[in-house]
Amino acid sequence: MTRIRKPHLLAGAALTALMPLSAAAQTELTLWHMEQPPHRVERVQTLLDEFNESHPDIVVKQEPQNWGEVYAKAPAALAAGVGPDMLFAIPDFTPILKSVGALTSVQDFVEELDGEHDFIDSAVEAYSYDDGIWAVPLYNMSMNLWYRPSVLDAAGVAVPTTWEEWAAAAETLTADGAYGMGLPANKQLYTDQTVYSVMANGGASEIYNEDGTLRFDNPETVEAYTFYNDMLQFSPPDAPSWTWGEAEACFASASCGMILQFSVISTYDTQAEGDAADLGVAAIPSKDSEGHNTIAYANAVMLLSQDEEKMEASKTFVRWLLQPENYGRFLNMEPGLFMPVTADGAKADSFWSDPMVEKYKPQIETVIENSQNGMLFGFTSGRVFPAIAAISAQNVLAETLQAIAINGKDPAEAVAAGQARMMDLTD
Partner 1 sequence: MKRPIRWTVALTAALALFAGLVLLPFWLVLTGSVKAPAEIIARQPTMVPHSFTLDHYAKLLAASDYPVYMMNSLIVASVSTLITLLLAIPAGYAFFRMSFPGRETLYRAILLAYAFPSIVILIPLFGIFAKIGLIDSRIALVLVNVAFALPFAVWLLRSFFAGIPAEIEEAARLDGGSPFIVLRRIMIPLVAPGIAAVAVFAFVTAWTEYVFASVMILSDAKRTVPVGFSGIIGQYQIDWGLLLAGASLSILPVVVLFAFVGRWFVAGLTEGAVK
Partner 2 sequence: MKLPRTLLPYAFIGPAILFLAALLVWPLVQAVVLSLQDVRSVGTTGKWVGLDNYREVLTDGTFWSSTWLSLVWVVTNAVLQTVLALLAALALNQNFPGVRIARTWIVLTWIIPTVVVVMIWRWLFSTSGGIVNPLLIQAGIIDRPVGFFARPNTAFATLVFINSWRWFPFITLMMLAGLTRIPGDLYEAARIDGAGPWKRFSRITWPLLAPTLGVLLVIGTLLSFNVFDIIWLMTSGGPAGGTRTLPVLIYETAFKSYRMSEAAAVAVLATLFLMGFAVVATRWLARPPEAR
Q: Would you tell me which residues interact with partner 2 (CB under 8 A)?
A: 71-72, 75-76, 78-80, 96, 99-101, 185-188, 236-241, 246, 249-250, 252-253, 255, 390, 393-394, 399, 402-403, 406-407, 425
Cβ–Cβ < 8 Å for 122, 375: yes
- Which residue, 245 or 362, has its beta carbon nearer to partner 1? 245
- Which residue, 7 or 237, has its beta carbon nearer to partner 2? 237
Comparing C-alpha atoms, which of 47, 164, 31 is closest to residue 88? 31
Residue 292 beta carbon to partner 1: minimum distance, rounded to whole angstroms: 21
- Which residue, 24 or 82, has its beta carbon nearer to partner 1? 82
Cβ–Cβ < 8 Å for 398, 192: yes
Residue 75 beta carbon to partner 2: minimum distance, rounded to whole angstroms: 4
Residue 71 interacting partner from partner 1, partner 2, none (CB closer than 5 to 8 Å by kind): partner 2
Interface with partner 1 (CB under 8 A)? 32, 34-39, 41-42, 62-69, 72-73, 76-77, 79-82, 141, 177, 243-246, 248-249, 252-255, 262, 266-267, 270-272, 334, 337
- Which residue, 99 or 218, has its beta carbon nearer to partner 2? 99
CA distances 325 to 4, 94, 146, 344, Å, are 10, 28, 30, 10
Residue 331 beta carbon to partner 2: minimum distance, rounded to whole angstroms: 28
Residue 15 interacting partner from partner 1, partner 2, none (CB closer than 5 to 8 Å by kind): none
Q: What distance in Å separates the CA atoms of residue 168 and residue 210, rounded to the nearest whole number? A: 37
Residue 67 beta carbon to partner 1: minimum distance, rounded to whole angstroms: 5
- Which residue, 279 or 398, has its beta carbon nearer to partner 2? 398
- The DSSP bridge pattern shows strands 379-380 and 383-384 to be antiparallel
Residue 334 interacting partner from partner 2, partner 1, none (CB closer than 5 to 8 Å by kind): partner 1
Residue 394 interacting partner from partner 2, partner 1, none (CB closer than 5 to 8 Å by kind): partner 2
Q: In sequence order, which ranges of 233-304 are alpha helices (DSSP H)?
A: 244-252, 265-271
Residue 35 beta carbon to partner 1: minimum distance, rounded to whole angstroms: 8
Residue 349 beta carbon to partner 1: minimum distance, rounded to whole angstroms: 25
Residue 236 interacting partner from partner 2, partner 1, none (CB closer than 5 to 8 Å by kind): partner 2
Q: In sequence order, which ranges of 146-288 are alpha helices (DSSP H)?
A: 149-155, 163-173, 189-200, 219-231, 244-252, 265-271
Residue 34 beta carbon to partner 2: minimum distance, rounded to whole angstroms: 15
Residue 277 interacting partner from partner 1, partner 2, none (CB closer than 5 to 8 Å by kind): none
- Which residue, 365 or 424, has its beta carbon nearer to partner 2? 424
H or E segment at 423? helix 411-426
- Which residues are bridge partners to 144 per DSSP? 261
- Which residue, 181 or 272, has its beta carbon nearer to partner 1? 272
- Which residue, 185 or 260, has its beta carbon nearer to partner 2? 185
Q: What distance in Å separates the CA atoms of residue 368 and residue 131, rounded to the nearest whole number? A: 29
Residue 266 interacting partner from partner 2, partner 1, none (CB closer than 5 to 8 Å by kind): partner 1
φ, ψ for residue 280 (rounded to 5)? -110, 145
Q: What distance in Å separates the CA atoms of residue 261 and residue 281, rounded to the nearest whole number? A: 10
- Which residue, 160 or 257, has its beta carbon nearer to partner 2? 257
Q: What distance in Å separates the CA atoms of residue 388 and residue 365, rounded to the nearest whole number? A: 31
Residue 66 interacting partner from partner 2, partner 1, none (CB closer than 5 to 8 Å by kind): partner 1
DSSP string, 22-89: -GGGPEEEEEEES--SHHHHHHHHHHHHHHHHH-TTEEEEEEE--HHHHHHHHHHHHHTT---SEEEE
Residue 72 beta carbon to partner 1: minimum distance, rounded to whole angstroms: 6
Residue 423 beta carbon to partner 2: minimum distance, rounded to whole angstroms: 14
- The DSSP bridge pattern shows strands 58-64 and 27-33 to be parallel
Cβ–Cβ < 8 Å for 29, 310: yes
Secondary structure, 3-state, 120-157 = CHHHHHCCEECCEECCEEEEEEECEEEECHHHHHHHCC
φ, ψ for residue 299 (rounded to 5)? -80, 150
